[in-house]
Structure 1
Amino acid sequence: MIIYHGSVEQVCNPEIREPNHRLDYGVGFYATTSYEQAKRWVQRKMREGKISKGYVNIYEFNEQVMEMLKTISFPTPSEEWVDFVMQNRTEPKFTHDYDIVYGPVANDHVYTAFALYEGHVLSKQALIAELKTYKLVDQYLFHTEQSLNSITFIEAKEIIL
């Protein structure tokens, strides 16, 4: 399977990096099956950093490895997914022991809905119902060095603003 990672640099050798803020699935290397999602992400980073070019890095993912590693998958928004995302975003000491996490990506619309949930404006059930009306793209988190062995760099496509 082909997966994509948007970055302001070519990432030939993915690695686990500590982010500067809490992310949906925790610490690790994030990728998606959506080229357009990866491109939008890098374009936003380019605008924020006033950088003129970035890259959509393309990888081959040996998804059979998911059967051998500890994984969790959230094919659609669910109560378990909401709880997992909220733990990763809001509990500073929270960590998990999954090698790979798969599920919906929290884009700008999803962030807004989550903010309403965090502010107790939406219930968990209302949040899930709201999210199911969106066309959500996916994301993979490679959380361990062992999981990174399942992806192989193919090429980096240059993106220019």
Structure 2
Amino acid sequence: MDYGKGFYTTTSKDQADKWVARKISATGTDKGFTNIYSFDESGFETLNVLKFDSANEQWLDFVMQNRTEKNFSHDYDIVYGPVANDRVYAAFALYEDGMLDKEGLIKELRAYKLADQVLFHSIKSLEYLHFENTVEVCK
């Protein structure tokens, strides 16, 4: 949702386990699985990559385009940057409702410790991603 359609990953084991735990709760099952991948970094030289080092104005604009513009599309193979957690979603809602301006939202986001997310947006980008292992996550 933040970066568009595609295959989302993170470099944070904690974040990945939280994503799985959320799915476990939503489906009522007792366990789920986190898949572990490696990435061939030569892809950074050949792919069209958009990287956000922090929750800045450009990141916010890009995320809002993906969330609010129905036909928004981009041609990046990979997008890397911060992931919005539950506290960030609440701040986004205030921004979307006009109760918080862009500057205020960015200031608030900088106070949060945000995990990262990596979107593999194109088939070409997936060629650089290699499955390594699966780890069980229990409720």
- TM-score, length-normalised on structure 1? 0.84
| 1:132 maps to amino acid | R
| SS at 1:159 equivalent | strand
The residue that corresponds to 1:84 in the other structure is: 62
Q: How many residues align?
A: 139
The residue that corresponds to 2:118 in the other structure is: 140
Q: Please tell me whether residue 38 in structure 1 is matched to residue 22 in structure 2.
A: no
Q: Please tell me whether residue 115 in structure 1 is matched to residue 113 in structure 2.
A: no
CA distance in 2, matches of 1:64, 1:129: 34
**One of 13, 28, 34 as aligned partner of 1:56:** 34
The residue that corresponds to 2:135 in the other structure is: 157
RCO higher in 1 or 2 (8 Å CA, sep ≥ 6)? 2
The residue that corresponds to 1:66 in the other structure is: 44
The residue that corresponds to 1:47 in the other structure is: 25
| 1:77 maps to amino acid | A
CA root-mean-square deviation? 0.7
CA distance in 2, matches of 1:104, 1:52: 29
Q: Which runs of 5+ in 2 are unaligned?
A: none
Q: Which runs of 5+ in 1 are unaligned?
A: 1-22
Q: Which structure shows the higher helix fraction? A: 2
- Structure 1 segments, 4+ long, off by >3 Å, are none
The share of aligned pairs that are identical, in percent, is: 55
The residue that corresponds to 2:84 in the other structure is: 106
| 1:107 maps to amino acid | N
